[in-house]
Structure 1
Amino acid sequence: MRAWVVVLVAVAAMLAPVSVVAPAQARPAVETRTTALLGRLSIPAIGVSAAIIPVGVTRRGELAIGRSARDVYRWRDGVVPGQEGSAVLAGHTWSKGPGVFDRLGRLEVGDRVVVGRNRFEVTRVRRVRDMSRNAVAALFSDRGPSRLVLITCGDRNNTTGVYRSRILVSARRLSRR
């Protein structure tokens, strides 16, 4: 079973970069048509409506998350929401104004998330301080039923500016609109 190997790295004042190591056998590129149908992320329960920006990785192997606090980021070589496996969307929580995922931790089981034509239902909301490499890799699986993982930083230390945890929201796909 192939899984995307990812390591979360702490960074002050912004969402932590995510290191991505592709499996030995590269995943086929996502069709342009599929990417075009991706659409926007909508989470009515917390007032989110955001563009989804596909990104690559930096030279250090970290997810190249941009500086926009209003958009979310998806690894361009990863699972697209609605495909088999886990699609992971990362967004900022921001100390200097509104961030797209400022209220992510307020979601509840049963809340709805919409990505393009795909509807998801929140199944779990959790805060984690430490995750093993294997636990993080499991978030990026390209196998199994279609699901969505939303991730942001949490528990900011206002003295140091360092975020001490990650907020992870898991959701299962319901249907297409």
Structure 2
Amino acid sequence: MGRSRVRRLAVVLTALVTMVAGLGVLVTSPSYSASAEAPVTARKAARLHIPAIGVDAGIRRVGVRNGRLAVGGSVRDVYSWRHGVRPGQPGSAVLAGHTWSKGPGVFDRLGQLRPGNRISVGIAAFKVTRVRRVSGLSPAAVRALFSDRGRARLVLITCGDRNNTTGIYRTRIIVTAKKVRRLPAGG
């Protein structure tokens, strides 16, 4: 792995630690807007399909802003780091999406997935292997979610267990899926 890729990976890991820790704050308001430093703009990539929970979402590849993944205010799209692993490539492709107390957030039902459920991103197909809720993610735990090595896998992450009094999400829902096959073109 080249130095520039290692450097970019270190920057995004630091940003994602911050993003994961602060995701609940971002998702409480769908009107969240980006700062002037780095607008939340991204070209759309392949779509994410999760039939078991009715997800059909666009994927926005974004950068880092103020040390955080520039997750935008759209509650219907998911976000990935533009320099990260793409779904279907070796390593972990991480997609972050909003859950929103007023619905419908793209990942409102993410915690209902079960091992064996199918997910597709473009022509890449995945099978859910693990669904978990965590109440805190250390920097090391966040780094463990990301890798550009090993078999292709998909990691989906959102907030969970909202405290309706404070509006703060107490956990993160993390779904891991392994690549199982490629879908035929057009399917």
- TM-score, normalization: structure 2? 0.79
In the alignment, which residue of structure 2 is the partner of 1:138? 144
Give the corresponding residue for 1:152: 158
For structure 1, list consecutive stretches of 5 or more residues without a partner in the other structure.
Answer: 16-34
Q: Would the aligned equivalents of 1:119 and 1:173 in 2 still touch at CA under 8 Å? A: yes
Match in the other structure for 1:9: 21
1:12 offset after TM fit, Å? 2.8
- The separation in 2 between residues aligned to 1:132 and 1:123, in whole angstroms, is 22
Aligned twin of 2:60: 53
Q: Indicate whether 1:176 and 2:166 are aligned.
A: no
Structure with higher helix content: 2
Of 123, 130, 146, which aligns to 2:129?
123
Does the residue aligned with 1:9 lie in a helix, a strand or coil? Answer: helix
1:70-81 alignment to 2 at 5 Å? 70-81=76-87
Alpha-carbon separation, structure 1, partners of 2:55 and 2:91: 23
Counterpart position of 2:37: none
Q: TM-score under structure 1 normalisation?
A: 0.83
Contact kept? 1:13, 1:95, Cα under 8 Å: no
Count of residue pairs the alignment pairs up: 156
Which consecutive unaligned segments of at least 5 residues does structure 2 have?
29-42
User: Which protein is richer in strand relative to its size?
Assistant: 1
Larger RCO of the pair (alpha carbons < 8 Å, separation 6+): 1
2:46 aligns with 39
Query: 1:173, CA displacement in angstroms?
Result: 0.2
Q: What's the RMSD between the two structures over aligned residues?
A: 1.8
Residue 109, structure 1, aligned to residue 107, structure 2: no
